[in-house]
Amino acid sequence: MPIEADSAAIVQRQLDAYNCRDIEALLATYADDAEVFEHPSTLLARGAAALRERFTARLKEPNLYARLLSRTVMGQTVIDYEEVFRTFPEGSGSLRLIMIYEVRGDRIARAWSIAGEKTLD
């Protein structure tokens, strides 16, 4: 299977686990030393324990769902454009999000998020 297909499949498994709120399946898509950033360089989480803490809190949101709008794959880099439905402190709503994933082997090694403006319901 070409690298692009492998990379896309890994990121798709991550998105599916996120939408199913399956913390174990979600964490299984990330390397043990994975890093998640707010683009370009603000570190949000590093390592399995920090990722578990971050994702566990997020997965508790009652209306959480990420809808894939488009995906671009080049080698081990996957760029997703998503609409994410969330429960913000101000109430439920959505935002557009660009996620950039760097896949190493069979797991996500690093990820960056670029958030658009949120819209409240």
Where residue 49 sits, what CATH number does that domain have? 3.10.450.50
Of 44, 24, 22, 23, nearest to 34 by C-alpha is 44
1 — pLDDT class (breaks 50, 70, 90):
low
Say whether the peptide bond before residue 40 is cis (omega within 30 degrees of 0): yes
* DSSP-derived secondary structure letter, 76: T
Q: Mind listing the pLDDT tens digit for each residue in 78-110? A: 999 999 999 999 999 999 999 999 999 999 999
Structure tokens at 3: 């690298």
Residue 117: how many other CB atoms lie within 10 Å: 6
Look at residue 112 and tell me whether its pLDDT is greater than 90: yes
What is the total count of domains within the chain? 1
Look at residue 51 and tell me whether its pLDDT is greater than 90: yes
pLDDT at position 82 is: 98
pLDDT at position 69 is: 98
For residue 106, give its domain range.
Answer: 3-120
SS3 68: strand
Structure tokens at 65: 């769902």
Average pLDDT value for residue range 41-64? 96
Average pLDDT value for residue range 63-72? 97
Residue 88: how many other CB atoms lie within 10 Å: 14
Average pLDDT value for residue range 21-39? 98
Distances (CA, A) of 95 to 24, 58, 69, 101: 25, 15, 12, 19
Per-chain mean pLDDT for the chain: 96
